[in-house]
């Protein structure tokens, strides 16, 4: 047994390997709110982060990064295929997102999912100090809470699901549904993005196990398990700071100039994922051009689609469909030197992203289903002059927080098209009021508040270092 007082367990470590020309490997912290929120807690508690380092084969030795111990877990090529691309991303991911794309089940994937979860649980059981706090992240590791409790009943175990939790009828399709539910119930606290997800989970314990949940609690053996909502957020101050730099302001102006000073720039920024509603967004834009309600070059769209899960069949097919649609729109409505849709299948640093957010008049966040959607929150935080308009899907968890957005139902193309036009033609005053209210909300509800409220609910005492390391 080791001495880690606070452990985060996630599929990926919060760093990416960078290999230079001589073949030397160094590690670069990967961007993201989760790392930002948890780093101070980890630093103050000699914390440990357990996760996969991102490449197949033998795991690198544990190492320190910014005061945090990083403990790589090995995944073989076969496990990446079965546990990660298979069961996690082709079975669970579509099913938990309301099956907006058909889910695929393979028995060999489950075996690998089980084995990898067991490996994570074993590493964690070995590292944790007596009575330590362990916080497990997301759908790839749903068996870990139960496996860990069997090995180490002394630990405080929290689990947070970043994606939606499906209604009972959908969850019931899942082979090994019982093992997964029991795995989650190994935690003391199961956190979700939205209250409805917590309710789905509690209803499932009644349906599948005959338990009798009361309020947010359900009794499992002699333990109380709490299921509740903790909507994740962004590092609002950091986003505002980047957006306020001269560099970003200049770059935003430059982008508008490069596009020929259009009246309305529509922007989409997503991982290239079928849940994000990129196809319906493009279709709505095309029909608006077709109907003459929008016109190139007065209106243009920028679609940034970060490469994602490129070896999973559904993602390969999606990319082809999206790129065909972009080609079609540009073929029909573009002019020489003036495409209707600027499509960028790339990742950008946070300055370029902030400049794009600032250049955009209408941000189109139209997922068919999404746990939260941080892009919507980043866009709002970047509107230093309260100028832009956010079109937001009711099916994104963020719609519960950003109530002043132009809310749309992306499953209803007419509603989506009307939402685009309403946002594009809203008065400056209306947009400013909405934006101000949303920015105020995000200043208060940022990612460190999210982490704090989860840890408090997990019973980490307020005065302990794990609760508020900065003080």
Return the active site residues: 162, 370
Whole-number minimum distance, CB 433 to ligand ADQ, in Å? Answer: 25
Instruction: Number of residues interacting with ligand ADQ: please give it, by CB under 6 A.
Output: 17
Binding mask 278-297 for ligand ADQ (x = CB under 6 A): --------------------
Q: Are the beta carbons of 124 and 144 closer than 8 angstroms?
A: yes
Label residues 177-205 b or e (16+ Cβ within 10 Å = b): eebbbbbbbbbbbbbbbbeebbbbbbebb
Among 80, 294, 374, 402, binds ligand ADQ (CB under 6 A): 374
**Which residues is 266 bridged to in the sheet?**
301, 362
Q: Are strands 156-160 and 68-73 parallel, antiparallel or unpaired?
A: unpaired
Stretch near ligand ADQ under the rule CB under 6 A, chosen from 104-112, 246-254, 313-321, 364-372: 364-372
Site for ligand ADQ in 195-234 (CB under 6 A): 232
Q: Which is nearer to ligand ADQ, 218 or 368 (CB)?
A: 368
Choosing from 30, 108, 335, 347, the residue that interacts with ligand ADQ (CB under 6 A) is 347
Choose the binding region for ligand ADQ from 80-88, 210-218, 334-342, 347-355 (rule: CB under 6 A).
347-355
Selected binder of ligand ADQ within 186, 371, 388, 410 (CB under 6 A) = 371
Determine contact, residues 215/231, Cβ cutoff 8 Å. Answer: no
In the block, residue with structure tokens 């509690």: 202
The residue within the footprint of ligand ADQ, chosen from 79, 188, 235, 378 (CB under 6 A), is 378
Q: At a CB cut-off of 8 Å and minimum separation 6, what does 127 contact? A: 2, 4, 7, 48, 50, 71
The 125-164 contact track toward ligand ADQ, x by CB under 6 A, reads: -------------------------------------xx-
Contact status: 304 vs ligand ADQ (CB under 6 A): yes
Q: Is 453 in the site for ligand ADQ (CB under 6 A)?
A: no
| Residues forming a β-bridge with 75 | 57
Comparing CA positions, the residue from 136, 164, 139 lying closest to residue 34 is 136
Q: How far is CA 131 from CA 219, 418, 427, in A?
A: 21, 55, 56
Of 51-59, 315-323, 331-339, 373-381: span binding ligand ADQ (CB under 6 A)? 373-381
The residue within the footprint of ligand ADQ, chosen from 81, 105, 348, 351 (CB under 6 A), is 348
Closest CA to 7 of 113, 218, 152: 152
- Stretch binding ligand ADQ (CB under 6 A), from 127-135, 317-325, 374-382, 461-469: 374-382
Measured between alpha carbons, how far is 274 from 200 in angstroms, rounded to an integer?
A: 23
- Name 29's bridge partners: 15
Q: Which two tokens stand for residue 198?
A: 């917590």
Give min distance, CB of 451 to ligand ADQ, in A. Answer: 12
Q: Is 299 helix (H, G, I), strand (E, B) or coil?
A: strand
Q: What does the binding site for ligand ADQ look like in residue numbers (CB under 6 A)?
A: 162-163, 232, 269, 271, 304, 306, 347-348, 353, 370-375, 378
């Amino acid at each position: 047994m080791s001495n880690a007082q606070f452990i985060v367990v996630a599929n990926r470590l919060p760093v990416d390997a960078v290999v230079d020309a001589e073949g030397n490997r160094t590690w670069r912290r990967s961007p993201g709110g989760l790392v930002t929120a948890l780093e101070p807690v980890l630093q103050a508690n000699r914390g440990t982060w357990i996760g996969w380092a991102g490449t197949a084969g033998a795991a690198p030795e544990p190492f320190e990064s910014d005061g945090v111990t990083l403990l790589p877990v090995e995944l073989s090529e076969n496990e990446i295929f079965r546990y990660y691309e298979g069961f996690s991303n082709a079975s669970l991911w579509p099913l938990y997102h309301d099956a907006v794309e058909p889910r695929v089940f393979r028995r060999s994937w489950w075996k690998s999912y089980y084995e990898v979860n067991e490996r994570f649980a074993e590493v964690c059981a070995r590292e944790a100090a007596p009575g330590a706090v362990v916080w497990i992240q997301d759908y790839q590791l749903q068996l870990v809470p139960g496996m860990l409790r069997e090995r180490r009943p002394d630990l405080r175990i929290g689990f947070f699901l970043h994606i939606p939790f499906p209604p009972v009828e959908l969850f019931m399709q899942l082979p090994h549904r019982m093992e997964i539910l029991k795995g989650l119930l190994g935690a003391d606290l199961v956190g979700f993005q939205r209250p409805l997800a917590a309710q789905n989970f509690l209803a499932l314990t009644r349906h599948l196990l005959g338990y009798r949940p009361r309020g947010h609690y359900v009794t499992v053996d002699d333990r109380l398990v709490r299921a509740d909502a903790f909507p994740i957020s962004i590092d609002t101050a950091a986003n505002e700071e980047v957006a306020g730099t001269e560099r970003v302001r200049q770059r935003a102006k430059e982008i508008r100039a490069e596009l020929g000073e259009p009246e309305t720039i529509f922007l989409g920024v997503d991982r290239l994922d079928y849940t994000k509603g990129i196809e319906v967004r493009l279709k709505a834009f095309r029909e608006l051009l077709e109907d003459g309600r929008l016109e190139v070059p007065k209106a243009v769209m920028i679609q940034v689609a970060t490469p994602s899960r490129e070896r999973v069949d559904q993602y390969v097919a999606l990319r082809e469909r999206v790129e065909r649609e972009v080609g079609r729109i540009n073929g029909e409505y573009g002019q020489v030197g003036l495409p209707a849709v600027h499509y960028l299948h790339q990742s950008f640093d946070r300055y370029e992203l902030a400049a794009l957010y600032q250049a955009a008049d209408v941000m189109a966040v139209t997922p068919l289903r999404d746990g939260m959607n941080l892009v919507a929150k980043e866009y709002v935080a970047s509107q230093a002059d309260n100028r832009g308009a956010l079109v937001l899907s009711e099916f994104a968890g963020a719609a519960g927080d950003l109530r002043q957005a132009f809310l749309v139902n992306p499953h209803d193309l007419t509603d989506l098209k009307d939402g685009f036009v309403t946002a594009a033609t809203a008065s400056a005053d209306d947009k400013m009021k909405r934006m101000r209210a949303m920015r105020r909300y995000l200043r208060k509800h940022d990612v460190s508040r999210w982490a704090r409220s989860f840890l408090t609910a997990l019973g980490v005492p307020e005065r302990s270092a794990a609760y508020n390391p900065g003080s």
